[in-house]
Structure 1
Amino acid sequence: MKKLELKFLNQEGRVVTLALDEPVEPADAAKISAAMDTVLAANCFSSSGGDLVAKKEARIVERNVYDITI
Structure 2
Amino acid sequence: MSKTLVMNFLNEGGSKTAIRVNNVKDGVTEAEVSAAMDVIIAKNIFTSTGGDLKDKDSAELVDKTSTELTVK
Q: TM-score range by the shorter chain?
A: 0.7 to 0.9
1:27 shift after superposition:
2.2
Find the counterpart in structure 1 of residue 61 from structure 2. 60
> What TM-score results when the alignment is normalised by the length of structure 2?
0.83
Find the counterpart in structure 1 of residue 15 from structure 2. 14
**Counterpart of 2:12 in structure 1: which amino acid?**
Q
> What TM-score results when the alignment is normalised by the length of structure 1?
0.85
Q: CA offsets, 1:36-67, max 9 Å, x none?
A: 00000001111000100000111111234445
Question: Distance between the aligned counterparts of 2:6 and 2:25, measured in 1?
Answer: 13
The sequence identity of aligned pairs, in percent, is: 33
In the comparison of the two structures, how many residue pairs are matched?
70
Question: Distance between the aligned counterparts of 2:47 and 2:24, measured in 1?
Answer: 23
Aligned positions of 1:33-44 closer than 5 A = 33-44=34-45
Structure 1 residue ranges (4+ consecutive) displaced by more than 2 angstroms after TM superposition: 62-70
SS at match of 2:40: helix
Unaligned regions of 5+ residues in structure 2, if any?
A: none
Find the counterpart in structure 2 of residue 30 from structure 1. 31
Q: CA RMSD in A?
A: 1.5
